[in-house]
Amino acid sequence: AKDNDKYVSSNVEFLDGNTWTSFGQKYKYFQTEVNKKNVLAVSFLFDFQRFNSLTRVTPIEKEVEKDWFKKELLGNFDDDNVDVLIVFGHLIIQHGQNQELLMLHDILRKHFKNTVIQYFGGHTHVRDFVSIDNKATAIQSGRFCETLGFVSLNFDEAEPSFFRKYLDFTRQSFDYHLNNINAKTI
């Protein structure tokens, strides 16, 4: 039996015999343990055309027209039961190159008018952070594990606030930050 519940892949499929099968769930919905925030997560790959004959990537603009997205995702989730919408995957976030992300954001924002949306992107291999609107940002953390990017969200204010931090992916950087975290928690 396949164990697809550990992965989220909204627009990538592989050929399993004669059947196209998602690499994971189309989305995941869960509640955080400590703060009890309801999180909805989706994951998209940009319009990648260099796949092999056993895989396929549906462009985001076509994927959002499918029943799972329109009826299941948008039909079951809204501002009342989602505190944070996480969109992660291999999407370009840089200004001027992020047309797919902005098209997806327009669709999501029309439905999730007040929900915080956090995008985690990739592909251009640069550190970048983009504020899309007052409740949505996007981060990209560099390339090949050279950088670790963090985003924190503060829900205690009338408007959510976002904070980002990049760590160099070195032992010295991790030791420094771990020692500072441990010193603050003791």
Summarize pLDDT for 138-160 with one digit per residue, the tens: 998 877 777 778 788 888 777 88
* Average pLDDT across the chain, whole number: 86
Q: If pLDDT is split at 50, 70 and 90, which confidence band does 77 have?
A: very high
The rounded Cα 57 to chain-centroid distance in angstroms is 17
- Name the DSSP class of 8: B
Q: Tell me, what's the pLDDT at 96?
A: 64
Q: Average pLDDT for residues 21-36, to the nearest whole number?
A: 92
Instruction: Note whether 155 and 37 are within 8 A (CB).
Output: yes
Percent of the chain with pLDDT over 90: 46
Spatial distance between the Cα atoms of 152 and 77, rounded to a whole number of angstroms: 23
- Name the DSSP class of 71: I
Query: Would you state the structure tokens that stand for residue 146, as one six-digit string?
Result: 């050279």
Q: Tell me, what's the pLDDT at 66?
A: 96
Q: Tell me, what's the pLDDT at 146?
A: 78
pLDDT digits (tens, 9 = 90+) for 31-59: 999 989 999 999 998 877 776 889 999 99
Q: Average pLDDT for residues 75-99, to the nearest whole number?
A: 88
Strand locations in 51-175, DSSP E? Answer: 55-57, 84-90, 116-120, 127-133, 136-141, 147-154, 161-168
Instruction: Note whether 129 and 137 are within 8 A (CB).
Output: yes
Between residues 174 and 134, which one has the greater pLDDT?
134
Residue among 78, 92, 53, 68 at smallest CA distance from 11 = 68
3-class state of residue 30 by DSSP: strand
Q: Average pLDDT for residues 113-132, to the nearest whole number?
A: 85
Residue among 20, 2, 72, 8 at smallest CA distance from 44 = 8
Between residues 1 and 85, which one has the greater pLDDT?
85
Backbone phi, then psi, for 71, in 5-degree steps? -90, -45
Spatial distance between the Cα atoms of 41 and 9, rounded to a whole number of angstroms: 10
Q: If pLDDT is split at 50, 70 and 90, which confidence band does 168 have?
A: confident
Q: Tell me, what's the pLDDT at 186?
A: 40
Q: Name the one residue in this structure whose structure tokens are 């995702």.
A: 73
Q: Tell me, what's the pLDDT at 1?
A: 38
Q: Name the one residue in this structure whose structure tokens are 């396929």.
A: 56
Predicted TM-score (pTM) of this structure: 0.85
- Name the DSSP class of 108: H
Query: Would you state the structure tokens that stand for residue 109, as one six-digit string?
Result: 């924002």
